Amino acid sequence: MTTFDLTGATRRELNQALHDASGGESFEVVNPRGAHAVACGIRADIDVVVRGSVGYYCAGMHQHGRVLVEGNASTGLAENIMSGLVRITGNATMSAGATGCGGLVVVGGNAGARCGISMKGVDIVVGGNVGHMSAFMAQAGNLVVCGDAAADLGDSIYEAQIFVRGDVESLGADCVEKEMRPEHVETLRGLLAAAAPATEGAEVSQFRRYGSARRLYNFTIDDVDALEAEREGAIP
């Protein structure tokens, strides 16, 4: 295992080494001390363990391999992940897994506002709660919440699926509770297993499924009157 100590090595040196890796290597990052953009853009099948908390955009643009953060992460964890696995043992702040196109993101603790915003195929599993506007404009993929969800969950959602074990403060525009069919049970069961131990104690039967009511998909003629009224000042 190759170790980078960020009290001496720079993030540029770390990320360049990860980019140059050909596959099969293991890396350890110590003393990250909340550094931003740690382990971004990994393109090879490697393992990276970060022993401590990180700042913005950790594991952004992740393409292959596995990243484990033993701590917390700030805004934009695994933003635009394409494949592979990014896992943190602690909490994530805003926009975890934003715009992700594939792969799996696991948050052992809680995730803040806009978790999974505009997700495009990524699977995100949160062991605790998620903040407001999570899965906003989520287009594809799955968001699994083992705790509670704050206000406006799934606002303007497209075809992503949301599974929540706890309470939902409120649903956003066009997001509704939906039937849990056998295929959804299998999907959820697989994600709970893949995200262990963050999902310890969670059972498929405890979850409810949410998704799009598909009312925002198509233009309706009734919208014309509302638009005209708004232009004329009748609607503030």
- Residues 124-144 have pLDDT tens digits of 999 999 999 999 999 999 999
Three-state SS string over the chain comes to CEEEECCCCCHHHHHHHHHHCCCCCEEEEECCCCCCCCCCCCCCCCEEEEECCECCCCCCCCCCCEEEECCCECCCCCCCCCCCEEEECCCECCCCCCCCCCCEEEECCCECCCCCCCCEEEEEEECCCECCCCCCCCCEEEEEECCCECCCECCCCCCCEEEECCCECCECCCEEEECCCHHHHHHHHHHHHHCCCCCCCCCHHHCEEEEECCCCCCCCCHHHHHHHHHHCCCCC
pTM (predicted TM-score) = 0.91
The pLDDT assigned to 217 comes to 72
The residue ranges of every structural domain in the chain are 2-231
- Domain at 2-231, CATH from 2.160.20.60, 1.20.1260.10, 2.40.50.100, 1.10.760.10: 2.160.20.60
pLDDT at 234 exceeding the cut of 60: no
pLDDT at 72 exceeding the cut of 70: yes
